[in-house]
Chain A
């Protein structure tokens, strides 16, 4: 069925208002964007890594997780915890111990710290073992819950509290880890990268594919953070769109080894357009730091070219 925003927003919510996430944060719309792709009749069990989302959505005795069940156990183990839940389902179902249970879907959420760094082993194990689950990384590019420390997802040159831009150092000295590609190489059933913009068609369609593709699936969502990035809270959607239009955050998916770029900007914007509104890149615009922007642009271009090549190669092969 073709995507219809008006229909989708009428679906029962699985993540209710009243949570304590910041205004202008990308995580709540990420969660809603993903969970709204669940069929109304299906049940879901959500796992969350420790992080902003978890500590703001489930504070005893309250919970924002509605019309679904939820578990959090620790920071680095959402992959393993979710794989335990999913395996319990398979075991109990096989033994006929789950009479009357609807289809259950298993979705894990983790920030980039809990996914790219401390939780990478647990995620890798879960994907390799082939659990029927979706792991969603809401990537805000730093340890925002503890106050913007750098992660391996932090963009090159970004100013963070553990890799600050100073007189000698230019912010983060390494480029980002390419986790989406690492997930592709796990022979994952479906891998996608998406962002929050427009009428949420892209995230919805990718969530739907991930949830209803059997086997391990991974979705990476660019999830802006007003505190860590330093943008006005009402700019959430705009900043996401700039990430996409500069090709800093390409929208693409990989299924059965075939790369598909879902959006190619008619006019690819220069990276400055994405960097400029954010305080974390402010130092890059100081006189003498032009090389940083140049290098950043080169890295973005290189990744974009790589994806165009992969798309061409994998589509030609088939």
Chain B
């Protein structure tokens, strides 16, 4: 085990060095630019065997990822915001072709207006593209999830997106525990695809026209693969715990044991919210926090299990669906609860868009309003925009 101080982008680049992928096509975009930059310096110094493709756009980055992965290479890339948006078409093709590409998504707001700071509009905007999505609270989680992502992707035959917050996580330096290079190498192992273009022993055609007779079945296979990936993520996480002593589940429950009030929140804001949970607990107020690690697949069973006895829930969305109702996390989690016959007063907070600071006092306000909802047994409104100026 190596103790280091690294930014989120550095941590991810180090993980990539240790994974030593065969091909990395990438295009610069703030705030993920540093990932290919750090990685290029590893290449320049001969510490990886990777071939880097300095593509002319993110669309071509994902296209080249698809070509290289189909050819039989282990492939990774990184992007953010507009870059992910430009990849949109190719993301669906990567999953539809069942290619285990690992993509770092450093979360940033999507234009317009243009803004380089953090929210989750980018990865939430592509939530139905067939990528597994892993969300990370800290630099440590970004590092760990990226290493696990390689193995999850290859076992599930699905691409994986590792998401963490732009600037807040990508550029902040934190203490981090790294694994030794050879332990990572051993963990990810050799990539041995069953079918690939460069296989000298068979000729294959990939990406056919798939008409009415087959398309539906192929999409169902993709849906099944996503469903089954839950088991794979759990297995890989179990295996990873053995080498790292860090155990990751599909969701993290923070002080939920005797809680009747919960906040559901992704990524770095979970860190801020945990601070508030501790403070309120010190005051004797029983609140807890649920942090989904996977949003694709949706950890329905786990969320329902954690939330079923709550008297009030706040679901925090750092992205808006612009649907006149609520954010994406809210709609899917309340749907999961309703499907299990639970009707718990649940509110939605759209927060922190475009990198707007979320302070502990903002989070505390949310918890305090939940206390009132729990007491009254009803809510007066569903969706709030946290701290926005009217």
* Chain A interface (Cβ < 8 Å from any Cβ of B): 43, 45, 47, 54-55, 58-61, 63, 65-74, 76-77, 79-92, 94-95, 97-98, 100-102, 104, 121-122, 124-125, 128-129
Q: Does B73 count as interface, using CB distance less than 8 angstroms?
A: yes
The answer to whether B57 and A125 have CB atoms under 8 Å apart is yes
A98 CA / B67 CA spacing, docked (Å): 17
The answer to whether B208 and A77 have CB atoms under 8 Å apart is no
The answer to whether A81 and B211 have CB atoms under 8 Å apart is no
The answer to whether B93 and A65 have CB atoms under 8 Å apart is no
What residues of B have a CB within 8 angstroms of the CB of A98 in the complex? 198, 200
A225 CA / B269 CA spacing, docked (Å): 59
A43 CA / B209 CA spacing, docked (Å): 24
Given contacts A84-B65, A95-B49, contact A72 B208 (CB under 8 A): yes
What residues of B have a CB within 8 angstroms of the CB of A55 in the complex? 209
The answer to whether A121 and B56 have CB atoms under 8 Å apart is yes
Which of B49, B61, B69, B203 sits near A94, CB closer than 8 Å? B49
What residues of A have a CB within 8 angstroms of the CB of B89 in the complex? 74
The answer to whether B204 and A73 have CB atoms under 8 Å apart is no
Contact-residue size bin, chain B (C-beta under 8 Å from the other chain): 35 or more
The answer to whether A77 and B59 have CB atoms under 8 Å apart is yes
What residues of B have a CB within 8 angstroms of the CB of A94 in the complex? 49, 51
Q: For residue A81, which residue of chain B has the nearest CB?
A: B67
The answer to whether A129 and B54 have CB atoms under 8 Å apart is yes
How far is the CB of B214 from the nearest CB of chain A, in Å? 5
The answer to whether B214 and A61 have CB atoms under 8 Å apart is yes
A45 CA / B204 CA spacing, docked (Å): 9
Q: Does B60 count as interface, using CB distance less than 8 angstroms?
A: yes
The answer to whether B25 and A84 have CB atoms under 8 Å apart is yes
A101 CA / B198 CA spacing, docked (Å): 8
Interface 0/1 of B79-92, CB less than 8 Å to A: 00000000001100
What residues of B have a CB within 8 angstroms of the CB of A70 in the complex? 204-207
The answer to whether A104 and B67 have CB atoms under 8 Å apart is no
The answer to whether B67 and A84 have CB atoms under 8 Å apart is yes
What residues of B have a CB within 8 angstroms of the CB of A101 in the complex? 198, 200
What residues of B have a CB within 8 angstroms of the CB of A95 in the complex? 22, 49
Given contacts A73-B63, A94-B49, A95-B22, contact A65 B55 (CB under 8 A): no
What residues of B have a CB within 8 angstroms of the CB of A54 in the complex? 209
The answer to whether B63 and A74 have CB atoms under 8 Å apart is yes
A68 CA / B75 CA spacing, docked (Å): 23
How far is the CB of B357 from the nearest CB of chain A, in Å? 38
Q: For residue A69, which residue of chain B has the nearest CB?
A: B197
How far is the CB of A58 from the nearest CB of chain B, in Å? 4
How far is the CB of A94 from the nearest CB of chain B, in Å? 7
What residues of B have a CB within 8 angstroms of the CB of A92 in the complex? 22, 71-73, 198
A92 CA / B90 CA spacing, docked (Å): 24
Which one of B57, B205, B208 has the greatest number of beta carbons of chain A within 10 Å?
B205
Q: Does B66 count as interface, using CB distance less than 8 angstroms?
A: yes
The answer to whether B197 and A45 have CB atoms under 8 Å apart is yes
How far is the CB of A65 from the nearest CB of chain B, in Å? 5
What residues of A have a CB within 8 angstroms of the CB of B204 in the complex? 69-70
Residues in B272-307 with C-beta less than 8 Å from chain A: none
The answer to whether A128 and B67 have CB atoms under 8 Å apart is no
A79 CA / B57 CA spacing, docked (Å): 12
Q: Does B70 count as interface, using CB distance less than 8 angstroms?
A: yes
How far is the CB of A14 from the nearest CB of chain B, in Å? 9
The answer to whether A72 and B22 have CB atoms under 8 Å apart is no
What residues of A have a CB within 8 angstroms of the CB of B209 in the complex? 54-55, 58-60
What residues of B have a CB within 8 angstroms of the CB of A128 in the complex? 56
How far is the CB of B143 from the nearest CB of chain A, in Å? 24
The answer to whether A58 and B93 have CB atoms under 8 Å apart is no
The answer to whether A91 and B23 have CB atoms under 8 Å apart is yes
Which of A45, A58, A125 sits near B198, CB closer than 8 Å? A45
The answer to whether B208 and A58 have CB atoms under 8 Å apart is yes
Q: Does B68 count as interface, using CB distance less than 8 angstroms?
A: yes
The answer to whether A77 and B60 have CB atoms under 8 Å apart is yes
Which of A63, A68, A88, A124 sits near B56, CB closer than 8 Å? A124
Which one of A47, A71, A94 has the greatest number of beta carbons of chain B within 10 Å?
A71
Q: Does B53 count as interface, using CB distance less than 8 angstroms?
A: yes
Which one of B25, B199, B204 has the greatest number of beta carbons of chain A within 10 Å?
B204
A58 CA / B59 CA spacing, docked (Å): 24
A148 CA / B115 CA spacing, docked (Å): 41
Given contacts A101-B200, A125-B60, contact A83 B67 (CB under 8 A): yes
The answer to whether A47 and B67 have CB atoms under 8 Å apart is yes
What residues of A have a CB within 8 angstroms of the CB of B64 in the complex? 80-81, 83-84, 87
Q: Does B50 count as interface, using CB distance less than 8 angstroms?
A: yes
A95 CA / B21 CA spacing, docked (Å): 11
Which of A59, A85, A102, A129 sits near B68, CB closer than 8 Å? A85
